[in-house]
Structure 1
Amino acid sequence: MTVWEELKARGLIAQVTDEDEIKEMVNNGKATFYIGFDPTADSLHVGHFMALCLMKRLQMAGNRPIALLGGGTGMIGDPSGRTDMRQMMTKETIQHNIDCFKKQMSRFIDFSDGKALMVNNADWLLNLNYVDLLRDVGAHFSVNRMLTAECYKQRMERGLSFLEFNYMIMQSYDFYMLYQKYGCNMQFGGDDQWSNMLGGTELIRRKLGKDAYAMTITLLLNSEGKKMGKTQSGAVWLDPNKTSPFDFYQYWRNVDDADVIKCMRLLTFLPLEQIDEMATWEGSQLNKAKEILAYELTNLVHGEEEAKKAQEGARALFSGGADTAHMPSTELADEDFTEDDTIDLITMLIKAGLVPTRSEGRRAIEQGGVSIDGEKITDIKHTVAKDSLAGDGVVLKRGKKKFNKVFVK
């Protein structure tokens, strides 16, 4: 099976500008391609995960990835898929976020010996002369066509700022610059980036008389058509300090039955034959498939040791075992307790990150969704003695899937 055939079989490819040309380049390791990452936070998240996996896959086949960090475009903000305008970031915040991205990307992509590049579009965007840009680049864009682009539709309903309207031109200019500087002949991105990517291929054709290509990858959606990688408490991050390896594992362990095989194809490096066999599994076997998915992805992001710890911790909890060594945990400090050395249950829930507010903690207790060491607690005034949290502590649980070991030293 060729690389291209595998990409199609896994369901990764959404749209392409010229399938025959792209297929030939990818299969023969001739693609120098880029994917852009705007530094809107201090960590990559699950939404970036599939793009990183694709870069790794294509690099393994001899192609050369360019990770483009949006130090320039991050100053504007991508309107794609947005109903509101992104919050403006300072240059210092953007640089900090870029530094964080660099460390995480190196887990997926081999940047040694020129096998891949990491570049920042601030290097060319921030020094542009506005009038020169209008003359050299703006003349090649039709406002009428830009307004029909999918990436602007949602923002048009609320009011699209001129700032955001320029984003397509800046992304197109990125492709144009990467083509000239590094021979980048292809751009990959999420399916919501299609219009911006076509703008880049068209600009290269008009300015340089050369052909460049674009391919979008399938967005990571669940069976209900909603973007995956979000929880009640926010995004699922790749940074272990923002989403622990255990919570990352649990996110994938708890995906819907309808989504597990699709995630296996899109995100793991398991052979397709093995995944096809799992697609025939039913009932309790699906839980085994989810365990495999969670382990494989946690291993990819956090390494084998953390994946094993997360798996052991989850198995211990759900089998009713006493091994709490690998569970997410919270150590309470002396100041968390009252004068009589107790702590109320709602405060414990907040300290353990199981609820964001006291009102939500109160509701969870009243609805019978909170337990300590397997014993359901329904009294919102329940308190826990400091002495009972010494040693191994207690397992505090909210609902079926959220839990934390709470202890004091």
Structure 2
Amino acid sequence: MNIIDELKWRGAINQMSDEESLHRLVAEKSVGLYCGVDPTGDSLHIGHLIPFMMLKRFQMAGHRAHIVIGGGTGSIGDPSGKKSERVLQSMEQVHHNEQKLTEQMERLFGKDNITIVNNYQWLSKIDLLSFLRDYGKLFNVNTMLGKEIIASRLEAGISFTEFTYQILQSIDFYHLFKENDVQLQIGGADQWGNITAGIDLIHKLNDSDKKAFALTIPLMLKADGTKFGKTAGGAIWLDPEKTTPYEFYQFWLNQDDRDVIKYLKYFTFLSRAEIDQLAEKVKIQPEKREAQRRLAEEVTAFVHGKEAVKQAEHISQALFSGDVRQLNAVEIEQGFKNMPTVEVENQAENIIEWLVQTNIEKSKRQAREDVTNGAISINGERIRDLEFTIDPAANFDGKFIIARRGKKKYFLARVKR
């Protein structure tokens, strides 16, 4: 299947320039294409991941993928999606972010058919007069004002610095077109104006018949109309230090039935036949959540590796069954990251006293009642003995005590060292 036809089936195309020519081009030869990201932070989140999944599909289809880490553009700030000016980061912070994003991209894309570059390499070499003479003269201000990415900011105001971002991104496309034979740029729906401005620049500076193309992906919304990728706890990051693999897995596992097939098309490399089978199971047996489980497995494996999937499933099973004794200290850190947590002294304590001291129970009377009724478990063991002694050194390398009240209410006690 032609890669353009596959992207259409996956619902991954918002706009495309000269569709007929692009469709023919990708069928005839290996095409150079790129997607860029600015180092405004030291990790991508899953919103960033969407266009890069499209880039990955081109790479897997044998095309020459290029990733631009925007060390140059990132130092001034993209006006896209912002109602006010970005706060400029120090160059030291920008370079730190560049390094972290490059490492993430290398893990996601491997080494085949991929080139990772930093636009600081060429943008930093352009002096002010050359910028104005060689490039600024080719951009009409009235045309730039008509681009949605700029027009959306006019009421609130936009600095000349962010106004010129469109020119810098256009230079990126021209540079890659000339030096790396890159003919296609892909990006989010909000990047259409910037990408087409790059095509216009290439047309003005290129003296051959070779064409340049633009392809953008749709803005992704959930079935309830809210923005994809945001949760009550904030963004879902690709960095395991910011969002643990367990949290990442759980995010995908908990997707709505109305969204899961769309996400399988966007975020996995499963075949059309496999996805159609899962869609049928959503209709017939939605309670089994097989599509969600497959989605969680595939995306977590892509971002964090297959071992992370096994670990996330192990944590999930332990928490669901209550048999937390099988968890190790690393898994506890992941699985209990957002659960109620207290610090306790490294000393043995009667269970009733301990439950009250940690505020798991409000009173000794309630603690005794819950223990007697079998509602309290310590480290995966149900306790009914009112004289039971909690020993911090007994489990989990002496680092944690896990308490459960009822079937679902977990508490984590960190033992002071």
TM-score, normalised via structure 1 length:
0.82
CA 1:289–1:203 in structure 2 vs 1: closer, same or farther (change >3 Å)? same
CA 1:219–1:406 in structure 2 vs 1: closer, same or farther (change >3 Å)? farther
CA 1:395–1:23 in structure 2 vs 1: closer, same or farther (change >3 Å)? farther
Aligned to 1:120: 118
Q: Is the 8 A contact 1:52 1:108 kept in 2?
A: no
Q: Is the 8 A contact 1:329 1:405 kept in 2?
A: no
Match of residue 293, structure 1, among 275, 292, 295: 295
Residue type of the partner of 1:308?
Answer: K
CA 1:148–1:47 in structure 2 vs 1: closer, same or farther (change >3 Å)? same
| Matching of residues 130-279 of structure 1 within 5 Å | 130-210=128-208, 211-279=211-279
Shift of 1:336: 4.3
CA 1:24–1:403 in structure 2 vs 1: closer, same or farther (change >3 Å)? farther
Aligned to 1:382: none
Shift of 1:337: 4.2
> 1:47, 1:390 → 2: CA distance?
43
Deviations 1:41-97 (A, max 9, x none): 111111222222222211111100111010000011111111222221111111111
Q: Is the 8 A contact 1:190 1:216 kept in 2?
A: yes
Residue type of the partner of 1:131?
Answer: L
Aligned to 1:91: 91
Aligned to 1:367: none
Shift of 1:27: 3.0
Shift of 1:386: 7.8
TM-score, normalised via structure 2 length:
0.80
Please identify, of 156-165 and 29-38, the stretch whose mean Cα deviation from structure 2 is larger. Answer: 156-165
> 1:279, 1:168 → 2: CA distance?
41
Q: Any stretches of 5+ residues in structure 2 without a counterpart?
A: 361-374, 379-388
> 1:153, 1:407 → 2: CA distance?
52
Residue type of the partner of 2:134?
Answer: D
Give the SS at the match of 2:214.
strand
Q: Is the 8 A contact 2:31 2:183 kept in 1?
A: yes
Please identify, of 280-289 and 238-247, the stretch whose mean Cα deviation from structure 2 is larger. Answer: 280-289
Shift of 1:3: 2.2
Alignment pair present for 1:306 and 2:308: yes
> 1:309, 1:277 → 2: CA distance?
27
> 1:336, 1:310 → 2: CA distance?
25
CA RMSD of superposed structures (Å): 3.0
Which of these two proteins has the greater Rg computed from alpha carbons? 2
Aligned to 2:372: none
CA 1:160–1:372 in structure 2 vs 1: closer, same or farther (change >3 Å)? farther
Residue type of the partner of 1:72?
Answer: G
Shift of 1:405: 4.9
Match of residue 394, structure 1, among 363, 379, 402: 402
Instruction: State the identity %.
Output: 40
Alignment pair present for 1:78 and 2:69: no
Q: Is the 8 A contact 1:109 1:116 kept in 2?
A: yes
Q: Any stretches of 5+ residues in structure 1 without a counterpart?
A: 349-370, 375-384
Aligned to 1:56: 56
Shift of 1:24: 2.1
> 1:132, 1:91 → 2: CA distance?
23
Aligned to 1:379: none
Q: Is the 8 A contact 2:59 2:65 kept in 1?
A: yes
Residue type of the partner of 1:121?
Answer: N
Residue type of the partner of 1:82?
Answer: K
Aligned to 1:284: 286
Shift of 1:224: 3.3
Give the SS at the match of 1:186.
strand
Aligned to 1:378: none
> 1:288, 1:153 → 2: CA distance?
44
Q: Is the 8 A contact 1:389 1:406 kept in 2?
A: no
Give the SS at the match of 2:289.
helix
Q: Is the 8 A contact 1:43 1:100 kept in 2?
A: yes
The aligned length equals: 369
> 2:156, 2:214 → 1: CA distance?
29
> 2:235, 2:358 → 1: CA distance?
26
Aligned to 2:2: 2
Aligned to 1:315: 317
> 1:157, 1:246 → 2: CA distance?
43
Aligned to 2:368: none
Aligned to 1:364: none
Aligned to 1:377: none
Aligned to 1:41: 41
> 2:160, 2:404 → 1: CA distance?
50
CA 1:25–1:225 in structure 2 vs 1: closer, same or farther (change >3 Å)? farther
Q: Is the 8 A contact 1:13 1:215 kept in 2?
A: yes
Q: Is the 8 A contact 2:71 2:95 kept in 1?
A: yes
CA 1:225–1:26 in structure 2 vs 1: closer, same or farther (change >3 Å)? farther
